[in-house]
Structure 1
């Protein structure tokens, strides 16, 4: 029991460490992207930025977002194993967040968190090896990072990514069979898929499905998907504003950034919150996004461009229902967090009680 408690405490500490180092990258990327896209115009290919200066700002924002997930996984590994875990964790996080292998699979932030934890514990194990003193000096800079990256990288590509790719193919088939059936259920599923891994394979499967339908002149599912893209970051922005006792000062600052990301449909604005408190945040945003997606489909909302958020309102059919669906979904998610997420004071008291109970058991 003690070992189990220590394991989960180590994980929580590692996730918090990863998020804290990731935050500046999220803020920089989110603000730059929001400003740049706000000056663009909606086209069939998405938001088009015409100003060269704003395009450069957009590229800087994209670079900030590209660093976000590797920083998360790298510092998760660093927290668990020290400096030798940092580079393997970052490399494996980058791999998880980008298409790789024959099937070009990516697993997003959830895959990156798993790989960060795996790298941390693998490096811990490597550090227990008994090697000659001459080799020990090069262990942290050569042997440990090379072995860790190779073993876990190949394991990810050949063992983890293959079944995920097969599952995504199956999902596309299921969604295809649902087209023409219940609009409400399709919207519900698309909304949930959009939020469940925020940029990961399930989210991208929903995107690919809606893009394929857009090519055939069917815009309803894209409307549901784009509604759901804006809900997670807006929900977290509302939650950090309404329930201020439940969040740290850095979380509140991140809530402001998440608000701007919701305006341009960047779902990833909610990732730092999910990474820190996945068991409460993820169910809340999935439910809210599912409701928003279902509302959009049921009311006939159509998004005519492959982008999300309030920024595309001029090219949406059913503007009022589009906006209402986003707001209702976000409010539902924030309300769920209001009732499920404890205040920081309550959480601290709970942790102290657990520590006291552990000390009593040790004394016995």
Structure 2
């Protein structure tokens, strides 16, 4: 969405925009000739940009993804201004990985968010793959499939139970990587590749001592900090060649292992157990209030850090071989609430299309699919254009859905999938009722709030001209 927003704004400004997207599936690097010809660079990211040094020496605007969606024209104007003034970005100076992560002026709170988001972004594919495989295993083999023997010892090609056991056991292996990957890539976000070894080791130890998700968070942060401390030390020239492959992995893994096993591991494990016991004891109004809170968090920033906290909290609860009933209820409530904003925006644009411009109505069509697939980000274009109306309305609907899902006792073992995993949901009909209720609440509030807004002068003309852009003019700056 950020890429499309920048491209559209570029066409309107007569600027050629070439975009490189960096996602969890990898990225295709821009042609060096394109970078060399570019007059300016816009870096729109919430996690560290990979291979950022390629853009050194260019006028650069560094911002978050949300800004690229909500105000792309301003970013393009800003980078064009820098290009006209000759403001360039110097080549990366030697420094600690902390100083190389994002802007040097960023506070540690911002950097901490980026480090945690780095770990979560790498973890989510393992969660989705493992959780869906486990859920399919239960669907095919029944709820006793977790007691099936290893498929290495017993597998019958013609028995559904064997196939269910196979899927369940593959999913269990995938889930086994969840905490080490989280810890490893938090450390990677802090210290680059040297952080991977101690991060993965610390995450694996967290599983060993039953410190779980909380232990993984701590292990990743500790691993990154240890590597940064080692890199700051003055090293004799004779040892510098073996630092990355021997000294840093050896010392950092040993320190992180010692801290996890001997110092902080047990308290974290006790905290994890206490939280699990508390969740398992939630009943009645307490469970409903938790569902409402999780619904509010899922809809607050639509895929941002607060949304990810709620989602990661839910997935951590089911990332075990035998999750408790309360953990599966939490997962169901979180996914239901996350589906509400895009579905509600789609419904609102269908019911009262005249309240939205042409671009928003087109986005509404895509939001049906995005919402049904549990992709909360489908509502971002609407929230970016009108946050004071869309976000509170989304939070209200999300809270209703989360509370109803918990009250109905809906359960879910799959961490993703939206309506496509409804057959795997406990109490599926009431679950869909909860989603529909939240969607109606949000759509109704958005329509009412937008209906109270006074139309801006010339709004109709702006709507009818949406989608047109002047032709590119020769000699204009190029943004890469």
Alpha-carbon offset, residue 164 of structure 1: 7.8
Give deviations 1:14-72, integer Å, cap 9, x for gaps.
9x9659559xxxxxxxxxxxxxxxxxxxxxxxxxxxxxxxxxxxxxxxx98949xx9xx
Distance 1:274 1:204 in 2: 17
Question: Which of 309, 313, 324 does residue 205 from structure 1 map onto?
Answer: 309
Aligned to 2:450: 341
1:183 shift after superposition: 0.5
Q: Is the 8 A contact 1:233 1:268 kept in 2?
A: yes
Q: How many angstroms does 1:309 deviate by? A: 2.0
1:195 aligns with 2:147: no
Q: Any conservation in 1 of the 2:9–2:73 contact (CA below 8 Å)?
A: no
Aligned partner of 1:235 in structure 2 is: 344
Q: Does structure 1 retain, via aligned residues, the 8 Å contact 2:44–2:68?
A: yes
Trace 1:210-229 onto structure 2 (pairs within 5 A). Answer: 210-214=314-318, 215=320, 216-217=323-324, 218-229=327-338
Change (3 A) 1:117 1:350: closer
Q: 2:48·2:101 contact (CA, 8 Å) conserved in 1? A: no
Residue of structure 2 aligned with 1:301, choices 403, 410, 419: 410
Which of 100, 103, 107 is the equivalent residue of 1:153? 103
Give the TM-score taking structure 2 as reference length. 0.45
Moved more, 201-210 or 341-350: 341-350
Listed as ranges, the gaps of 5+ residues in structure 1 are 1-13, 23-62, 71-82, 99-106, 130-135, 353-364
- The aligned counterpart of 1:273 is 382
Partner of 1:162: 112
Of 38, 45, 52, 1:93 maps to: 45
User: 1:187–1:224: 8 Å Cα contact kept in structure 2?
Assistant: yes
SS at match of 2:374: coil
Partner of 1:252: 361
Corresponding residue pairs, total: 261
Output the CA distance in 2 between the equivalents of 1:274 and 1:95.
21
Choose between structure 1 and 2: higher helix proportion.
Answer: 1
Instruction: Give the Cα separation in 2 of the matches to 1:322 and 1:235.
Output: 16
In the TM superposition, what is the alpha-carbon distance from 1:290 to its structure 2 partner?
1.2
Structure-2 separation of matches of 1:165 and 1:276: 28
Maintained 8 Å contact 1:289/1:329: yes
Output the CA distance in 1 between the equivalents of 2:331 and 2:401. 13
- CA distance in 1 between counterparts of 2:73 and 2:101 reads 14
Question: Following the alignment from structure 2 to structure 1, what is the Cα–Cα distance between the partners of residues 340 and 329?
Answer: 17
Q: Distance in 1 between matches of 2:7 and 2:457?
A: 19
Query: Separation in 2 of the partners of 1:65 and 1:243?
Result: 36
Aligned-residue offset at 1:116? 7.2
CA displacement at 1:289 relative to structure 2: 0.8
Q: If you compute each CA radius of gyration, which structure gives the higher value, 1 or 2? A: 2
Residues 264 and 308 in structure 1, CA contact (< 8 A), matched pair in contact too: yes
Residue 302 of structure 1 aligns to a residue whose secondary structure is coil
Taking only aligned residues, the RMSD between alpha carbons, in angstroms, comes to 4.7
Relative to structure 1, is the Cα distance of residues 114 and 272 closer, same or farther in structure 2, using a 3 angstrom cutoff? closer
- Please give the alpha-carbon distance, in whole angstroms, between the structure 2 residues aligned to 1:269 and 1:116: 18
Tell me how far apart the structure 2 counterparts of residues 154 and 272 of structure 1 sit (CA, whole Å).
29
Provide the rounded CA distance (Å) in 2 between the counterparts of 1:289 and 1:351.
32
1:339 offset after TM fit, Å?
1.0
With over 3 angstroms needed to count, the CA separation of the structure-2 counterparts of 1:346 and 1:122, relative to structure 1, is closer
Quote the offset at 1:295 in angstroms.
0.6
Alignment of 1:79-158 (within 5 A): 87-88=41-42, 91-93=43-45, 95=47, 109-110=65-66, 123=79, 126=82, 136=86, 139=87, 143-144=88-89, 153-156=103-106, 158=108
Change (3 A) 1:340 1:266: same
Residue aligned with 2:409, SS = coil
Distance 1:165 1:152, change over 3 A: closer
Q: Which residue of 2 aligns with 1:133?
A: none
